[in-house]
Chain A
């Protein structure tokens, strides 16, 4: 079945430093989604990338979708304490009979040291 792998698993940064998490899929994806989960909270949708090589920005966050549509990255510039949480990528997968499911990576837990 489809696998979505994310690295690193944990990242500790000093406030103001940059942060990047990487996502790789075992299969080509029609799109990739990114979610953020604050400590004690639930995953919240951040963005979806659809096109090969697509780059999208949300303030200090930059999302990229690889040319082969099998990998993606999230880069945060000048981290702030509000960026603390776990960042997940997720890719839709299809199995027989039109079955669809969203497969999540294990996430990258970001800690920001003030």
Chain B
């Protein structure tokens, strides 16, 4: 397996534009997590899915953020409209069905810059 695949790797966009980040989890993993990493706040969990169903989105900062998982092999994180303070590295991670008792596999991340 190629691991968790995220796209794009880098995204530069202007304030107010819509941004969509994509993630393909490892096949067979039924937990999917979206994290945001900044120097100030570290790794923050935004939302996670179990079997394609959003379980906890309490980490989503605002209504401008939304996430979907239409099937077991694809998830998106959308920011609309984007703001400069959204600049961060966004990681997607997946875990096998044992969930809490096993490791999370991270993608390479998407570095988002909003100017």
Contact = CB atoms under 8 A, between A and B. Distances in A.
A105 B37 CA distance: 12
8 contacts: A31-B101, A44-B106, A95-B56, A100-B48, A100-B100, A103-B45, A106-B42, A107-B43
Contacts of B107: 42
Interface string B43-77: 10100101000011000000000000000000000
Interface string A77-110: 0000000000010101011000111111111000
A33 B100 CA distance: 10
A107 B37 CA distance: 11
B104 interface: yes
Chain A interface secondary structure, helix, strand, loop or mixed?
A: strand
Interface residues of A, number: 24
Contacts of B55: 99-100
Interface of A: 30-31, 33, 41-45, 48, 50, 88, 90, 92, 94-95, 99-107
B109 interface: yes
B49 to A, nearest CB: 11
B1 to A, nearest CB: 15
B100 A31 contact: yes
A30 B101 contact: yes
Given A88-B43, A104-B42, A106-B42, A45 B100 contact: no
B109 A42 contact: yes
